[in-house]
């Protein structure tokens, strides 16, 4: 992703530099060096933005992994709660049957 972004930014920067150099015949070396400095600054900022985007992608992937783990844990807890409820209902039914048998005697 970073290589794509840098690759996409190189061509426009080079074109801008060539456009300034070839279009202005009265450009002196100070102006050219100023333009080169601005282009280098823009390239540096683009690299920084690409790095920040890559860090954000890593953070998003980590958050997704954590969310997936939380969902798995929640599903496991629900399964355990369902099993406990089933056991509770079975015990309640047994107690009711024993109570009914005791009342019949």
At residue 95, the pLDDT reads 93
- Tell me how many domains the chain contains: 1
Chain-centroid distance, C-alpha 1:
14
Q: Whole-model pTM?
A: 0.50
What digits encode the pLDDT tens for the residues 23-53?
Answer: 555 667 888 888 899 999 999 999 999 999 9
User: Nearest-5° angle of CA 48, CA 49, CA 53?
Assistant: 120
At residue 22, the pLDDT reads 64
What digits encode the pLDDT tens for the residues 61-70?
Answer: 999 999 999 9
The more confident residue out of 3 and 82 is 82
Q: How far apart (Å, rounded) are the C-alpha atoms in residues 57 and 87?
A: 45
């Amino acid at each position: 992703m970073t290589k794509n972004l840098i690759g996409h930014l190189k061509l426009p920067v080079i074109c801008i530099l060539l456009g300034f150099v070839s279009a202005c015949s009265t450009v002196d070396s100070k102006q050219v060096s100023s333009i080169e400095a601005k282009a280098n600054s823009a390239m540096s900022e683009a690299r920084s933005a690409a790095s920040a985007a890559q860090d954000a992608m890593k953070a998003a992937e980590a958050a997704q992994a954590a969310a997936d783990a939380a969902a798995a844990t929640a599903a496991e807890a629900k399964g355990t709660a369902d099993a406990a409820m089933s056991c509770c209902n079975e015990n309640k039914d047994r107690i009711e049957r024993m109570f009914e048998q005791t009342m019949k005697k």
